[in-house]
């Protein structure tokens, strides 16, 4: 008869092996012990690195906002896009605006859904500061499940770290 202790030891060992095999490292990003989930430095997005492609399947006139790796910070280079999106939102009257947070494929599903939501919230706050009522905005996170690009390149990954905006029909 197998003892409970043997069963627990076996389960713990298998769990550790399984989790170690599921770890993902982001290509092209070196580690420096920064303490985030990826244990790597943040990489800045250079628009020329992905041909300046801007994804937003919305035909409402909004532009997507792109984020650095493992970041949800609104940076100064986003100011023009935030202002343009605020103007589009104001022209839409009282219609609701959906903010869709997206991530690249690195990290766990849970982490990416949380990061996508934080990105959507950062955009919501920035638009609210431009006069768009927060009550008109709804947020959703797609995590890594809604990629704009599926190639295994840094340029492609950069396209997936975004918030898309669209009017709710």
Q: What's the pLDDT at 59?
A: 67
For residues 139-166, average pLDDT: 95
Instruction: Reply yes or no on whether the pLDDT at 36 is more than 50.
Output: no
Q: What's the pLDDT at 60?
A: 83
Instruction: Reply yes or no on whether the pLDDT at 40 is more than 90.
Output: no
Domains of the chain listed by start with CATH number: 26-167 (3.30.1330.60)
Of the pLDDT bands very low, low, confident and very high (cuts 50, 70, 90), residue 157 is very high
Of the pLDDT bands very low, low, confident and very high (cuts 50, 70, 90), residue 19 is very low
**Average model confidence (pLDDT) across the chain:** 77
Q: Which comes out higher in pLDDT, residue 127 or 41?
A: 127
Measured distance CA(149)–CA(160) in Å, rounded: 7
Q: Which comes out higher in pLDDT, residue 64 or 36?
A: 64
Q: What's the pLDDT at 3?
A: 63
The predicted model scores a pTM of: 0.68
Measured distance CA(90)–CA(93) in Å, rounded: 6
Range from 32-41, 62-71, 99-108 carrying the lowest mean pLDDT: 32-41
Percentage of the chain beyond pLDDT 90 is 63
DSSP per position, 70-94: T-----GGGHHHHHHHHHHHHHTTT
Angle ∠(23,27,31) on CA atoms, nearest 5 = 75
């Amino acid at each position: 008869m197998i003892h409970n202790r043997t069963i627990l030891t076996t389960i713990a060992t298998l769990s550790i092996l399984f989790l170690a095999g599921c770890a993902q490292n982001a290509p092209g990003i070196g580690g420096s012990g920064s303490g985030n989930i990826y244990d790597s430095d943040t990489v800045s997005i250079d628009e020329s690195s992905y041909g300046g492609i801007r994804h937003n399947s919305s035909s409402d006139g909004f532009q997507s906002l792109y984020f650095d790796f493992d970041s949800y910070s609104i940076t100064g280079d986003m100011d023009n896009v935030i202002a343009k999106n605020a103007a589009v939102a104001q022209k839409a009257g009282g219609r609701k605006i959906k903010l869709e947070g997206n991530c690249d494929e690195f990290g766990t599903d849970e982490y990416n859904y949380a990061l996508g939501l934080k990105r959507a919230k950062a955009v919501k706050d920035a638009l609210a500061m431009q006069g768009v009522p927060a009550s008109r905005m709804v947020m959703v996170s797609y995590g890594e499940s809604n990629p704009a690009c599926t190639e295994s390149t840094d340029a492609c990954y950069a396209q997936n770290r975004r918030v898309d905006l669209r009017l709710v029909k």
